Structure 1
């Protein structure tokens, strides 16, 4: 069991590649938007900032390092938060595209999806009455016939070129029970060493549902596979499931992730105006539960990160 004195790491996923501009006027799209929301989230208590990039012209997801360079250094200079760069990108990006900026930045942390999956939000297209840009509708509807690819060889390559060669550690994104076993395979092969940071994800179509029982199954399975002292458990609840599942995770000794990548809402029918609003809400819940929030340096120590001085960005 996690030690009672452990603090809770709040991660914030600022923009992602799933939601589109028509879904919320508050979704950060430009480098200025992303930088501002990330900095505000860090000030509100997020120890880790999980970052994607978007084309500033129309908000579509982009892997372009030149766009990342317009906001990542600004965030680094304004905060001491751990910068976590996606290697997931989007379902339409190749592995080479997804790795382009992480290999350049050599960050302390990157996300790593632990398997291929039918990742989709295509039913959401039926709820949108008016699209802001021409790319949005085919992008969302097209997810119905796309697979997010991360084969065992893909994962092995990421572990080598980012983990071994760059000293980057990973937020292991597990969308299903089998993803924990995929991670255990790489641990058994000696390609991954602890402490592990396991991000269990609930509520994405194609992955595990948001049932509270599934959170218990993921937690107990991770205990069996890795031993509770050898990993840090974190939870991401998609959409309306965000705050209830995060509260449950915290009570179970886990860490939490918020942000407009994961949910556009602050409460029922209430759009979040910023990522910082979600950070402040979950922080308030944690503190009401008498749980302490980890600082960035405390998170670095808990996760065995190399430190911001070893990052090239």
Structure 2
């Protein structure tokens, strides 16, 4: 019998949505981000998707200076692929958002494939008190934000980062984003094999339903044939169920405290590594093997960890 392909686990360690009040496990200091990222890699994550935070307040940061301290530690401690976000702010310009990737030239970075009403304002009503003054207004303010990713923005990011030979994690929040990517691919801004991250369950994007995933996968098959690889991340309670479904459909998976603060319904996760260990156990119990970092590099055609700038 033919061997089943290996499943890549990505761990999104901290993100830019959740705030320190929401979970004591959410890392925001340099030490916390590094420690949790390394533990996630040890638990089975071959890719670490990384955002930065202000180490004093926990507020999301896109300052390259807030990436440098933990990138160096992660590089020294693990062979995991580092994936730097280019979507760490809903209000900054595209050049500001890609500055960390431009500075550190990682093997991978995220690339959002369309604009959307990206909101998490509903979380504000769940908390009576906040650890930091910025949190409540930040969460409530997302109701009025448009996460801008125009064709011009995408082109500018692709052209600026092209010399770095970075593989993009194309984040697909809705079906139209697949057609945006097809257009940009035909224009020569990206090259196959491309890597799709289906994002399910974000308010403003497509819902976290199996039917939606099947439709997105079928559309990607039509547009890209065998020239793509794919993964799924689902927000909140849908995280683990949708990841298991994706793994059984031949896709890869993403977990982490950026996407969900919980390990099971109603129970906060104690760490990113706990989520990674859970999805790894489920994947392996269902007969699939988890990819090592070097296997992930081969599957995604990455440039290699020796060609980064950190």
Taking structure 1 as the reference length, the TM-score comes to 0.97
For 1:126, the equivalent position in structure 2 comes to 125
For 1:175, the equivalent position in structure 2 comes to 173
For 1:295, the equivalent position in structure 2 comes to 292
For 1:166, the equivalent position in structure 2 comes to 164
User: In structure 1, what is the Cα distance between the partners aligned to 2:197 and 2:66?
Assistant: 26
Ranges in structure 1 where 5+ consecutive residues have no aligned partner: none
2:301 paired with 1:304: yes
Superposition deviation, residue 236 in structure 1 = 0.2
Distance 1:156 1:69, change over 3 A: same
Check whether the contact 2:43–2:273 (CA below 8 A) recurs between aligned residues: yes
Q: 1:147-194: CA deviations, max 9, x gaps?
A: 1111101101111111x2111110000000001111111111122111
For 1:139, the equivalent position in structure 2 comes to 138
Alignment of 1:92-131 (within 5 A): 92-131=91-130
Superposition deviation, residue 4 in structure 1 = 5.1
Q: 1:68-123: CA deviations, max 9, x gaps?
A: 01101110110000000000112132222211111110111000000111001101
User: In structure 2, what is the Cα distance between the partners aligned to 1:245 and 1:225?
Assistant: 23
For 1:239, the equivalent position in structure 2 comes to 236
Alignment of 1:149-160 (within 5 A): 149-160=148-159
Moved more, 129-138 or 94-103: 94-103
Q: Secondary structure at the match of 1:25?
A: coil
Check whether the contact 2:44–2:290 (CA below 8 A) recurs between aligned residues: yes
For 2:274, the equivalent position in structure 1 comes to 277
User: In structure 2, what is the Cα distance between the partners aligned to 1:25 and 1:259?
Assistant: 14
User: In structure 2, what is the Cα distance between the partners aligned to 1:19 and 1:97?
Assistant: 21
User: In structure 2, what is the Cα distance between the partners aligned to 1:94 and 1:128?
Assistant: 30
Superposition deviation, residue 256 in structure 1 = 0.1
Q: 1:227-250: CA deviations, max 9, x gaps?
A: 1x2111100010000011111111
1:255 equivalent among 252, 255, 266: 252
1:187 equivalent among 185, 196, 200: 185
Check whether the contact 2:95–2:157 (CA below 8 A) recurs between aligned residues: no
User: In structure 1, what is the Cα distance between the partners aligned to 2:3 and 2:18?
Assistant: 36
Taking structure 2 as the reference length, the TM-score comes to 0.98
For 1:209, the equivalent position in structure 2 comes to 207
User: In structure 2, what is the Cα distance between the partners aligned to 1:258 and 1:67?
Assistant: 23
User: In structure 2, what is the Cα distance between the partners aligned to 1:307 and 1:113?
Assistant: 23
2:96 paired with 1:69: no
Q: Could you say what the CA RMSD is over the residues aligned between the two structures, in angstroms?
A: 0.9
Q: 1:188-233: CA deviations, max 9, x gaps?
A: 1122111111000100000001121101011110000001x21111
Ranges in structure 2 where 5+ consecutive residues have no aligned partner: none
